[in-house]
Structure 1
Amino acid sequence: MEVNSLNILSAGAGTVVYPPGGHFGPRTQVNYQLVLLHTGKMGVSINQKHHYEVPQGNLCLLQPGNLEEFHFAKDEETWHSWIDIHIKNMPPEMENRLKFLPFYMPISDAMNQITELMLQIQHTGQTGINNTKCTLGAAVLELFIEETLNQSNVDRLYHPVVLRVKSMIHKRFHEEMTIAELAEDVSMSPDHLVRLFRKHEGVTPSHYLWERRINRGIDLLQNTGLTVSEIAYQAGFKTSQHFARLIKKHTNRTPTEIRMGYREGRNE
């Protein structure tokens, strides 16, 4: 049974940061969901019988019908992203195949890039992108199956320095920071850090930092009533004009259009 032959009705992605001591659930899992743990810790209880401690830098596959409860790091924020895949009438042979895969495995470059791509597509707010997201959902599921069967391919796994720099960017994106400061924190020259980051992420640390700021700004536009100036400041921009200019370049929409489009979509 090929993954791309599955009847995927919808797929989507998200990202969230839980404060120290965060907790979620219990909840019954509805769809197949891949959770990528970037920083912090995550304990997952399944059906009150099985408990897993997912290490930082790993992802896990959550499956429909299970009762789940999550506990996060007590002394630091926990950041994770996810891809949710709604499959109609999952064939029994594929369902059984997924049940016997490892619960978690290291995040690969490819898995992270697909997740980031889906998040970016959603942020554009364009209509008619459901088929594209379904295609990416199928790719993620197929990639997870392939990677769990080939975990010895260490070249595809994150370099620990890259993971550490991403963690620092995620926690301090609203502050001023330079490549030199990031490189010093990981005891590496700036040029070496840029080469390493580009190899594993496909972009420079500076590009990744601005992408993080833009995505945070979009999240605040869609989920808060803060002014554009307040959002720009919280997302790490010096001025609201700079924020609006990069948002327009990234999404082809103004901050006001993003905010209004999201509200209209929720009211449909």
Structure 2
Amino acid sequence: MRLPPIDLSRENTFGELTYETGGQYGPIMGDYLAFIVVHIGSATIEADDRVTRLEAGQCAFSLTHERYNYIAQEGTFSHVSWCDGRPQNAGWLYQEAGKFAPFIDATPQVQTLMQLGVDLGIGDRDSRSGLREALTNALLNAYIYEAGVLAAEKPVPQTILRARRYLDEHFAGDLTIEHVAEQVRVSPQYLVSAFKKHMGMTPARYLWRCRVDYGAHLLQRTGLSISEIAYKVGYKNPYHFSRQVKLAFDCSPTELREQARGA
């Protein structure tokens, strides 16, 4: 699928950055397009209502109407390259964006286009702006193509997609693997093995990731107490929630909230 070129004549940049001990880029408000390649370390991207966790070797595509925020894990070293811009007259792109994977493995083609843009420099209003815009459009098409190839090479059974969707929609409930397996009409043994094969983790691990990611989102975006958030996202006690936040973000819930407020 090749998309028509998008107008990025305003604020279209490429660059790279090293975070020695974590950090944050954003929040950026309004219509915004961003590609991120994580070369070293890990990161979290908040794009409107979607939260995406990235590891080294992965690339993310984000298209937001309201708010974008990039967070490098506190206390860890990371290195990333980026391409961003303010898309103009691209309503059709926003309509299609939900069909694109939020992240993929950073393929050689994607990394090459990103590096070409980085080599041009960061400036947004110079004689090379047209080339940056062309590279950004090429990067968008490469990302969509590579995402399609990766999906075709590793087809995910509909049963596993339904299980993932069920976990996404019901993670705050009192779920068991047996219950989820019953919902998608497979045995618990098959669900665990097939889910891990295609999703890279067990259903239980995916469930806890959903809970801690949404819990972190509520910590940073609401005034709910830590206890209220813990119960709201499916933990049976605040201590367990706090422990999972510490493991995922290397800081306490209170520290995570203070970091967001200090941004």
- Output the TM-score relative to the length of structure 1: 0.53
Number of the residue aligned with 1:187: 185
Number of the residue aligned with 2:75: none
2:205 is equivalent to residue 164 of structure 1? no
Q: What is the 5 A alignment of 1:186-225?
A: 186-225=184-223
Q: What is the 5 A alignment of 1:240-259?
A: 240-259=238-257
Answer yes or no: is the 8 Å Cα contact 2:101–2:147 preserved in 1. Answer: no
Number of aligned residue pairs: 173
Number of the residue aligned with 1:64: 87
1:170-215 Cα deviation digits (max 9, x unpaired)? 1111101111111111111111111110111110000000000000
Distance 2:138 2:95 in 1: 27
Distance 2:241 2:232 in 1: 11
Number of the residue aligned with 1:21: none
Aligned AA for 2:144?
F
Distance 2:207 2:256 in 1: 21
1:16, distance to aligned residue in structure 2 (A): 5.1
Deviates more, 1:63-72 or 1:240-249: 63-72
2:73 is equivalent to residue 13 of structure 1? no
1:63, distance to aligned residue in structure 2 (A): 8.4
Answer yes or no: is the 8 Å Cα contact 1:15–1:81 preserved in 2. Answer: no
1:144, distance to aligned residue in structure 2 (A): 3.3
2:135 is equivalent to residue 94 of structure 1? yes
Distance 1:80 1:97 in 2: 15
1:146, distance to aligned residue in structure 2 (A): 3.0
1:200-249 Cα deviation digits (max 9, x unpaired)? 11100000000000001100000000001100011111111111111112
Distance 2:237 2:173 in 1: 13
Answer yes or no: is the 8 Å Cα contact 1:229–1:240 preserved in 2. Answer: yes
Answer yes or no: is the 8 Å Cα contact 1:16–1:81 preserved in 2. Answer: no
Distance 1:239 1:230 in 2: 10
Answer yes or no: is the 8 Å Cα contact 1:248–1:255 preserved in 2. Answer: yes
Paired residue secondary structure (1:7) = strand
- Output the TM-score relative to the length of structure 2: 0.54
Distance 1:159 1:34 in 2: 26
Number of the residue aligned with 1:261: 259
Paired residue secondary structure (1:66) = coil
Aligned AA for 1:244?
S
Distance 1:147 1:200 in 2: 15
> Where does the alignment leave 5 or more consecutive residues of structure 1 unmatched?
1-5, 19-31, 36-61, 73-77, 102-141
Number of the residue aligned with 2:144: 144
1:115-167 Cα deviation digits (max 9, x unpaired)? xxxxxxxxxxxxxxxxxxxxxxxxxxx5534345x47x733233222221111
Distance 1:64 1:205 in 2: 37
Aligned AA for 2:200?
G
Answer yes or no: is the 8 Å Cα contact 1:15–1:80 preserved in 2. Answer: no
Aligned AA for 2:262?
E
Paired residue secondary structure (1:14) = strand
1:50-86 Cα deviation digits (max 9, x unpaired)? xxxxxxxxxxxx98323427679xxxxx999857x99
Aligned AA for 1:13?
I
Residue 80 and residue 259 in structure 1: after superposition, are their counterparts in 2 closer, same or farther (change >3 A)? farther
Number of the residue aligned with 1:237: 235
Answer yes or no: is the 8 Å Cα contact 1:170–1:212 preserved in 2. Answer: yes
Distance 1:145 1:97 in 2: 10
Answer yes or no: is the 8 Å Cα contact 2:100–2:147 preserved in 1. Answer: no
> Where does the alignment leave 5 or more consecutive residues of structure 2 unmatched?
1-12, 17-24, 26-35, 37-43, 51-59, 64-84, 104-113, 123-128
Aligned AA for 2:146?
E
Paired residue secondary structure (1:188) = coil
